[in-house]
Amino acid sequence: MCCSDAILKYLTTKYDVPEHWYPRQPERRARVDEYTAWHHTNTRPHAAKVFILEVWTRLNRALSDLDDTLDKLESMFLRRQPFLCGDDITVADLLATCELTQPLGGGRDVLKERPQLQRWRSRVQSAVGEAFDEAHSVLYHLVKIKFGNRFVELLLRLHSVEQLPPLHPDR
């Protein structure tokens, strides 16, 4: 399998993980599937474009596209619920949060002016725990190399941690 959402769905189906990650109930699962299908033509390409283009070109169009996507995340998926697909965290939240964290590698917090999405990101981070920062440790260290300690201090405050998680090159 080559697609992250297919891999996540396979793993949650194969192994005994809490049901909230990929619900068995058809209606709830359909909400997760709806987001993961939408993710590939909205959150992923627009957040990735900001991440990729940050280094090479002006970002006005990419940021505009991402801004439209963030508006839709707020109005369509987080309108009346704490997570993208309901009251519990799912793989949809993991997919979106990872994409929206990547632009930090270019020094841009795309959720800076979006309190609703910041609260959602905090809920995702709380639900995932230390694994969230471990999964992003390479990105955090890239930011530290590129921007130095001043930006790292901001990043640490953003994620409410005291230090960056260690890199694990043997993994």
Asked if residue 157 belongs to a domain, the reply is: no
How far apart CA 149 and CA 155 sit, in angstroms, is 10
- Give the SS3 label for residue 86: strand
pLDDT of residue 115: 95
Residue 95: both structure tokens together = 């997919």
Q: What is the CATH number of the domain that holds 110?
A: 1.20.1050.10
Number of domains in the chain: 1
User: Coil, strand, or helix at residue 83?
Assistant: strand
Percent of the chain at pLDDT above 70? 82
Q: What's the rounded Cα separation, in Å, for the pair 80 and 68? A: 19
Residue ranges for the chain with pLDDT beneath 50:
167-171
The answer to whether residue 113 is domain-embedded is yes
Query: CA-based Rg of the chain, rounded to a whole angstrom?
Result: 16
pLDDT one-digit tens code per residue, 92-101 = 999 999 999 8
pLDDT above 90: percentage of residues in the chain = 49
Q: Which domain holds residue 84?
A: 4-128
pTM exceeds 0.75, yes or no: no
